[in-house]
Structure 1
Amino acid sequence: MSEDTKKADTHQQLIALLTEQRAQFRVVEHEPVGKCEAVSEIRGTELGQGAKALVCKVKGNGVKKHVLAILAADQQADLSQLASHFGGIKASLASPAEVDELTACVFGAIPPFSFHDSLTLVADPLLFERFDEIAFNAGLLEKSVIMNTDDYLRIAQPELVSFRRGET
């Protein structure tokens, strides 16, 4: 299976899930952009509506875990808070090879859904407190989904964990 096919499969799997679960969503096609600020402008959404997805490794104290950490695109992650939530000593961003293996997506295209058993999904609650809709790249850099926040929480069921800078 080619890399493009794997990435298209992630997009199709996501759209099938949202459709099957009767989510309120729309797909926006655009130029392939991986930067949060640029893509939010193209989508016509606020930067804070963007669901930034970070594939992280948490290690230490006997913990070795991969986490898909979702936060608002206008925020920065505090990976030490993430590590401590899982009982680890440190957290870091996963390598491109790990990201590909766990998500079948390139950086910037990862949707805020985990389709891999070894990838734990967590989300910072601020993402859901300010807007009725969230927006994210949908497995491909040239396709975004804008969806109802309540539908996202119902379908993805992330563990809500505060891990943005400035939060304790």
Structure 2
Amino acid sequence: MTTYDRLIELLERSHARFRIIDHPPEGRTEPASVLRRHALSQAAKCLVVRVALGRRARRYVLAVVPGDRRLDLDRLSSIYTGTESSFATREIAERLAGSVSGSVVPFALHPDLDLVVDPDLLVHKEIFFNAARLDRSVALATDDYVSLAGPRVEVIAQRSLTGADAAPEALTRIGN
């Protein structure tokens, strides 16, 4: 059973309020959000991160932030009392997520993966994400997502350097 099949089975079995959105293959958050026709802040950007806990100890975390924000690796490391955090290698991320890069779902479906979600994503009535496929996405009621995924909710997205309402492109120019 593919990760896509597992996801859809979970959503249907739980009677979650969701819909499927077919679109041209796209794994980047901003272009996918345009194809799906929603605000970038409603996109669940899913990143697999390796948190070093000591010399040989580590934990893998599926960090989920709004699509218009960047992950704060230092904050994530601090939450786990780790020494450092870095993005997992593509090979490890795809193995743990069960899908190719750019199509990771915001559910920790592997036992070696913790799930941490930034609260700013959860303020929307509906979130959007690629459904373990680059050509298909899911729009899911946020309260159903929280109920099904059971995420740890922590502030893990970088906060704006110029105020809460700064445009993402402005932050990119600043170098954030």
Letter in 2 for 1:20: R
The amino acid of 1:23's aligned partner reads A
Aligned to 1:118: 112
CA RMSD of aligned residues (A): 1.2
Query: TM-score, normalised to structure 1's length?
Result: 0.91
Alignment partner of 1:48 is 2:45: no
2:58 is aligned to 64
Are 2:131 and 1:138 aligned? yes
TM-score by structure 2 length? 0.87
Q: Secondary structure at the match of 2:145?
A: helix
Residue number in structure 1 paired with 2:30: 37
- Show structure 2 runs of 5+ residues with no match: 161-176
Structure 1: runs of 5+ lacking an equivalent: 1-5
Choose from 66, 70, 81 the match for 1:76: 70
**Alignment partner of 2:9 out of 3, 12, 16:** 16
**Residue 165 (structure 1) aligned with residue 147 (structure 2):** no
2:79 is aligned, of 61, 78, 85, to 85
Give the letter for the 2:101 counterpart: F
* Partner residue, 2:163: none
Q: For 1:87-145, what per-residue CA distance to the aligned partner results, in whole angstroms no more than 9, with x for missing partners?
A: 1011000001101210121111000001100000110000011x200000000000100
| Alpha-carbon distance in structure 2 between the residues aligned to 1:36 and 1:23 | 23
d(CA) in 1 for partners of 2:153, 2:53: 22
Task: Please give the secondary structure, in 2, of the residue aligned with 1:16.
Answer: helix
Instruction: Tell me the SS of whatever aligns to 1:45.
Output: coil
1:3 alignment counterpart: none
Question: Which range is displaced more, 100-109 or 81-90?
Answer: 100-109
Aligned 8 A contact 1:80 1:89 in 2: no
**Equivalent pair of 1:61/1:87 in contact (CA under 8 Å):** no
Q: Percent identity of the aligned residues?
A: 36
